[in-house]
Amino acid sequence: MELIGIWVAAMLTLCIYSFLYRDNPFYRFAEHLFVGISVGYGIVLTYHQGFKPFAWNPLQEAVTEQEWIGLVRLIPIGIGVLFFARLVPSQGWLIRYPIAILIGVGSGLAIPNVMRADIFEQVHGTLAPFAQIHAGELSRFQIFGVVLMLIGVISTLTYFFFSVEHRGVVGGVSKIGIVFLMIGFGSAFGNTVMGRVSLLIQRVDFLLHDWLHLI
């Protein structure tokens, strides 16, 4: 059985890699299989990890044990069912309620976290090294790094001002910001490509070792 699994995996790997040459029936077969299986798997997964534990089982429990407070779950279930209002054209507007709740809850949960992680902690991270400079804990090279970081933060922030025309001083500072951004993107690019190459190595290792036993 394991052998069959290895052969199927190897064949599908080759089918997907054949896209590097051009679109072909093998790739198309693997693509449709991949999409179809992922949707089927997703439905089964959400049924077992979502519908059963969060909706069906608690409701069943509430009814069998006559704990009627458990029926409060019918409220979110009812709101969720409104998603299907689109299937009835005349009642399609009802879908706006669950969507509004989802967006509202999502934004409400996200905003405080963004404020803390992206603003307060970032500002703290920018300021903290200057306390170390005052305490004389940093070497000259480290101080240079801290000053460079400050220039990077200020210039990059300037780039993201939208209601000011990027001319003169603002234009110059935002150009420095772009340079910092591009250096950051370049290093991230190299880092990620390294990660992708390791994934390729894993796949080639699977083909040559597990499948063909060549290495």
Partner 1 sequence: MKGQRFSCPVLVVQGLVISLLVLGCGLNAFAQDATTTEDTRLFDTAKIWIFLAVILYSATVVYCIYHARSGKELFIRRIPGLEAVDEAIGRATEMGRSIMYILGLGGVSNVATIASMNILSQVAQKTADYETPLRVPCNDPIVMNVVQEMVKTAYLNEGRPDAYNEENIFFLTESQFAYAAGVDGMMVREQPAAVFLQGTFFAESLILAETGNSIGAIQIAGTDKEHQLPFFIAACDYTLIGEELFAASAYLSREPMLLGSLKGQDYGKVMIFGAIVIGVILELFGITWMTTFFQRVR
Q: Give the footprint of partner 1 on residues 45-104 (CB under 8 A).
A: 46-47, 49-51, 54-55, 58, 72-73, 75-77, 79-81, 83-84, 86-87, 95, 98-99, 101-103
Does 148 interact with partner 1 (rule: CB under 8 A)? no
Does 145 interact with partner 1 (rule: CB under 8 A)? no
Q: Encoding tokens for residue 98?
A: 């669950």
Please list every residue from 160 through 179 that binds partner 1, using CB under 8 A. Answer: 160-166
Q: Which residue has the tokens 């250096």?
A: 183
Q: Which of 5, 8, 42, 212 binds partner 1 (CB under 8 A)?
A: 42
Does 142 interact with partner 1 (rule: CB under 8 A)? no
Please list every residue from 10 through 39 that binds partner 1, using CB under 8 A. Answer: 16, 19, 22-23, 27-28, 30-32, 34-35, 37-39
Q: Which of 13, 126, 138, 176 binds partner 1 (CB under 8 A)?
A: 126
Q: Which of 90, 134, 140, 194 binds partner 1 (CB under 8 A)?
A: 134
Q: Encoding tokens for residue 150?
A: 């400050």
The Cβ-side half-sphere exposure at 51, using a 13 Å CA radius, reads: 8
Please list every residue from 174 through 203 that binds partner 1, using CB under 8 A. Answer: 181-182, 184-186, 188-189, 192, 196
